[in-house]
């Protein structure tokens, strides 16, 4: 599984990255987590608000800082 | 709506604490207790209601609706969407570029970018709590006008060349993003958000009301009317200039403005101040500077600032 966190480096984006790491550890799944900070790459996903959470190329949330528990429910 | 609390707080201050009614200290303490609780209640209620409604909208949806709209009607729609869409200035860049990708004219994007921060939930909650629904409606109405006309003017200036990042317009139409959420989840999300905001601003409110209470009790109305400018011509521009660096403290400044207006400051100046606080935010300008030429940002600030000035003078003249 590949998880991408889209965001240009705002505080919320960093928090979402940390929460995602926590969620993956709590659930014990194997996943590659990547921060995408390049604005041109972010635009390719069609989101207009950050931070956004992308799992295997699919945008699951945008403009929200999800908690680790909420992220666990997404995958 | 708050008569019961007015009475209860008066009973507390004047009978339980034994402060004399009509004395500066008694009036100041009563005002402080009454206003703090009232504002806190309204803040929680209104922010919760607004953020709950906003879970049904997001900027991705707005982009789908705005795609292919002509100028002017697009400007009106964009300004209206600004009221109900959750927006954080930290997302200004992806929003701006994302709208361009969808071939939405730049003026329409600016209408949204002016309207969304103007209609932020804290501003609306504070205005409603302190000045009532009529002034809140006027604020939203004139805010929309500034957003529509301002965006239209910026669009007419044809400054697309000042966008510093090359954007390739996408071909075809956008699909609506599907995010399904249960009402319970939405309520929980809105509640968490309300709590976050409240923790961020409650101290500012407390300080604002504190200073306001002091003025209310100790400083006579003639002093304010004479020195803080009742109908002085420079009151409105001064309010706008003071409002620009206040972006984060709107919650604390508003209780002060309430006291100042009740003591003779004109309401138009107060509304201009509030609009400058919310719409002309320096952090947002700094964020946009990464993708827009300074000239374009200056035009944005100039047009919006001018619109706010006009609204302020208009209000001072008719109210």
Number of structural domains chain A divides into: 1
Q: Residue A61: its chain B contacts at CB < 8 A?
A: 179
Q: How far apart are CA B11 and CA B97, in angstroms?
A: 57
Please, what is the angle between helix B24-54 and helix B183-218, to 10°? Answer: 160
Instruction: Find the CATH number of the domain harbouring A58.
Output: 3.40.30.10
Active-site residues of A, by number, are: 10, 13
Q: Residue B88: its chain A contacts at CB < 8 A?
A: 12, 49, 63
Chain A residue with the nearest C-alpha to that of B59:
A48
Query: Using omega within 30 degrees of 0 as the cis cutoff, is the peptide bond preceding B21 cis?
Result: no
Structure tokens at A7: 């965001």
Q: Do B177 and A12 touch (CB under 8 A)?
A: no
What pLDDT sits at residue B247?
A: 64
Q: Do B189 and A64 touch (CB under 8 A)?
A: yes
Chain position carrying tokens 């003017």: B153
B76 assigned to some structural domain: yes
What pLDDT sits at residue B318?
A: 79
B121 assigned to some structural domain: yes
B156 assigned to some structural domain: yes
Q: Cβ of A44: how many Cβ atoms within 10 Å?
A: 12
Which of B90, B99, B193 to mutate: most A Cβ within 10 Å?
A: B90
SS3 content of chain B, % helix, strand, coil (to 5): 75, 0, 25
Each residue of A13-62: pLDDT tens digit? 899 999 999 999 998 889 999 999 988 888 888 888 889 999 998 888 88
Number of structural domains chain B divides into: 1
Containing structural domain, residue A68: 2-74
Average pLDDT per block of 10 residues along chain B, 319 residues long: 83 83 85 89 91 88 90 94 85 88 92 91 85 89 95 92 83 66 86 90 88 83 64 78 72 79 80 86 86 93 93 84
* Predicted complex ipTM exceeds 0.95: no
What pLDDT sits at residue B217?
A: 82
Give the closest of B86, B101, B291 to A63, CB-based: B86
Q: How far is CA B222 from CA B188, B262, B266, B302, in A?
A: 48, 11, 13, 34
Structure tokens at B139: 């604020």
Containing structural domain, residue B191: 20-318
Tell me the residues of B at the A interface, defined by beta carbons under 8 Å apart: 58-60, 62-63, 86-88, 90-91, 93-95, 97-99, 101, 165, 167, 174, 177, 179, 189, 291
What pLDDT sits at residue B229?
A: 58
What pLDDT sits at residue B78?
A: 95
């Amino acid at each position: 599984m590949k998880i991408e966190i889209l965001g240009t480096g705002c505080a919320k984006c960093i928090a979402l990255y940390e929460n995602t790491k926590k969620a993956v550890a709590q659930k014990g799944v194997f996943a590659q987590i990547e921060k995408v900070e390049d604005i041109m790459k972010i635009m390719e996903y069609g989101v207009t608000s950050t931070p956004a959470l992308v799992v295997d190329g699919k945008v699951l949330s945008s403009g929200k800082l999800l908690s680790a528990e909420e992220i666990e429910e997404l995958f | 709506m708050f008569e019961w609390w007015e009475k209860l707080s008066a009973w507390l201050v004047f009978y339980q604490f034994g402060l004399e009614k009509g004395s500066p200290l008694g009036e100041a303490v009563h005002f402080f207790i009454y206003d703090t609780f009232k504002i806190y209640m309204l803040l929680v209620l209104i922010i919760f209601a607004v953020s709950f409604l906003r879970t049904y909208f997001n900027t991705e949806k707005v982009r789908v609706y705005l795609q292919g709209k002509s100028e002017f009607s697009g400007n009106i729609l964009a300004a209206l969407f600004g009221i109900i869409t959750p927006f954080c200035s930290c997302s200004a860049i992806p929003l701006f570029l994302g709208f361009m990708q969808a071939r939405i004219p730049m003026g329409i994007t600016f209408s949204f970018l002016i309207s969304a921060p103007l209609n932020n939930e804290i501003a609306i909650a504070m205005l409603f709590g302190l000045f009532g629904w009529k002034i809140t409606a006027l604020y939203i109405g004139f805010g929309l006008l500034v957003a529509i006309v301002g965006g239209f003017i910026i669009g007419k200036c044809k400054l697309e060349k000042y966008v510093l990042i090359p954007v390739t317009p996408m071909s075809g139409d956008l699909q609506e993003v599907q995010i399904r959420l249960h009402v319970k989840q939405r309520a929980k999300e809105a509640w968490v958000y309300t709590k976050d905001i409240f923790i961020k601003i409650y101290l500012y409110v407390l300080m604002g009301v504190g200073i306001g209470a002091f003025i209310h009790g100790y400083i006579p109305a003639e002093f304010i009317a004479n020195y803080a400018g009742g109908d002085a011509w420079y009151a409105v521009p001064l309010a706008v200039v003071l409002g620009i660096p206040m972006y984060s403290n709107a919650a604390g400044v508003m209780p002060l403005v309430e006291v100042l207006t009740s003591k003779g400051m004109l309401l138009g100046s107060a509304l201009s101040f509030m609009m400058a606080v919310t719409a002309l935010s320096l952090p947002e300008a700094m964020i946009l500077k990464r993708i827009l030429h300074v000239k374009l940002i200056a035009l944005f600030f100039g047009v919006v600032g001018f619109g706010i000035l006009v609204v302020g003078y208009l209000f001072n003249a008719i109210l």
